Amino acid sequence: MNTVGRYVASPKELVRAADRLSFLYLDRCVVNRDSNAITATDERGTVHIPAAAVGVLLLGPGTTVTHQAIMLMSDSGSTVVWVGEQGVRYYAHGVSLARSARLLTAQAEAVTNSRSRLRVARAMYEMRFPDEDVSGLTMQQLRGREGARVRRVYREHSERTGVEWTSRSYDVDDWEAGDEVNQALSAANAALYGVVHSVIVALGCSPALGFVHTGHHRSFVYDIADLYKAELTIPVAFDIAAGSGEDIAGEARRRIRDALHNGKLLQRCARDIQRLLLDADPESVGSEEYFEVDVISLWDERQGEVPGGVSYGGVL
């Protein structure tokens, strides 16, 4: 107990990240606390969820959360992210799930070194286009290759659906100026960005430190989201345009919501980020503990780091 009688879990008591429920989505309920469990209550009753077993709690529309519930989630090493329906659209987040800066440090180190930054960029393109060898390409060549591949994807779906495609265009100040497929693409991509943003902050990474995109506070969000557009948002947008629905934006959000939910993109996205930043083998990602708890070290220009919590007063 601390001085106000509040229970705070010690590092040894916390459930390993690999053993937690990675993401738990709740909507249209009241989220409260009962001892060391969070509760979700609606007209059907109350469900108890052990707080320490949850990695990220996604709060969707219609949720009301108490101060006690948020306090318990923080003490348990979990994070809370406020999102749109079914995890689509990111609004805000609480503390990160990560209790160490391992992924954030790896991200910062990789993005500030030209060689490692190019390595990550190449790995991203390899994940998007696994049938191509990009190991020796420069960034200029990668951009050219990517542009040609994406144009081909647009052309294929245009032929598949019979929807005419000219170019990607979107005016943020004039939504109606775009044709139906461009409107659907914009709405679908916005939904995808929200989900990816949620995963990035839950893992303790920086949304701003991108490898392909740069200079924007969501650069890394756009990097990761690009991994999934060819298989998710582009085909969905052409399908919607082919249907000539009235609520294009709403239909795009709903279809992307269902596709992301059914395809378990949250778990896949988390694994992809770890694989990229830690340069890990795809089969080994998730088998190690990437979220060490409460490890505090001190930086040293010679040794890299030294243990914290040690008196160095005699070292001059």
CA distances for 251 relative to 54, 186, 237, 239, 242, angstroms:
31, 12, 9, 10, 12
Q: Which residues contact 12 (CB under 8 A, 6 or more apart)?
A: none
The tokens for 71 are: 């306090």
Of the candidates 218, 217, 204, the residue with the CA atom closest to the CA atom of residue 277: 204
Q: What residues form DSSP beta bridges with 58?
A: 25, 81
Residues placed in the known binding site? 146, 213, 226
Q: Which residues contact 83 (CB under 8 A, 6 or more apart)?
A: 25, 58, 59, 60, 89, 90, 91, 194, 195, 198
Residues placed in the known binding site for Mn(2+)? 146, 213, 226
Q: Is 163 exposed, middle or buried (0-12, 13-18, 19+ CB in 10 A)?
A: buried
CB 241 within 8 A of CB 181: yes
Q: What are phi and psi of 277, to 5 degrees?
A: -80, -30
Cα distance between residue 110 and residue 122, in whole Å: 13
Residues written for the chain: 316
